[in-house]
Chains A and B, each alone.
Chain A
Amino acid sequence: GENVEQHPSTLSVQEGDSAVIKCTYSDSASNYFPWYKQELGKRPQLIIDIRSNVGEKKDQRIAVTLNKTAKHFSLHITETQPEDSAVYFCAASEGYGGSQGNLIFGKGTKLSVKP
């Protein structure tokens, strides 16, 4: 089955710096890769996602890149702000056809943005 590895487990940056979180996956059939932000005691919130027919997607300060050959994808946050502090999870699933699409999550990255 699918296995998703996520690094680093913790990341501390200064406000205004960039943050990068990396994930690898094992199942070449996976083709949908969302990123979730989870604040303490809150629900996971979808912040950006990418499908395997696209190499990069950007939404304001957040971007995700996907390398299908190497089976890795990354989250990039630019101009970080204290409110970006949270745990970020990557996930993978089969996103097409008859697949049900249950997500396999990484273990999470705790991002701290220091003012």
Chain B
Amino acid sequence: GAGVSQSPRYKVAKRGQDVALRCDPISGHVSLFWYQQALGQGPEFLTYFQNEAQLDKSGLPSDRFFAERPEGSVSTLKIQRTQQEDSAVYLCASSPLGPGEQYFGPGTRLTVT
């Protein structure tokens, strides 16, 4: 079946612009995670949804970052007033229910110039 998909795959933004990154999880997966991966580093947790409820946003680096999953399926990560330090690959992962195997999307590479 179809895996996790993300769009766009690449995004270039000028500093100060707002961006929106989309994640389509595997159909039926209850849990959805967002991670940020800096160059040469492991992914770092940003936020977690169980269905439409955002249960943990402790990893969001600032209040410029906002995530939603209004119908419990597709999720959007929004970054307002982008800064150069926001440049990274943003990965989405989904899981059938709670802890366990997570399946990653291809990521969105964000470059802020």
Contact = CB atoms under 8 A, between A and B. Distances in A.
A105 B107 contact: no
A100 B91 CA distance: 17
Contacts of B107: 43
Interface residues of A, number: 27
Contact of A103 (B4, B41, B55, B102): B102
Interface of A: 6, 32, 34, 36, 42-46, 49, 89, 91, 93-96, 98-108
B41 A49 contact: no
B36 to A, nearest CB: 11
Interface of B: 4, 31, 33, 35, 40-45, 48, 50, 55-56, 59, 91, 95, 98-107
B33 to A, nearest CB: 6
B106 A43 contact: yes
Contacts of B31: 100-101
A102 B42 contact: no
A32 B100 CA distance: 7
Contacts of A89: 42-43
**Which 3 pairs of residues, A with B, have the shortest CB-CB distance?**
A101-B99, A105-B42, A95-B99
B99 A96 contact: yes
A104 B45 contact: yes
Nearest to A106: B42
A44 B91 contact: yes
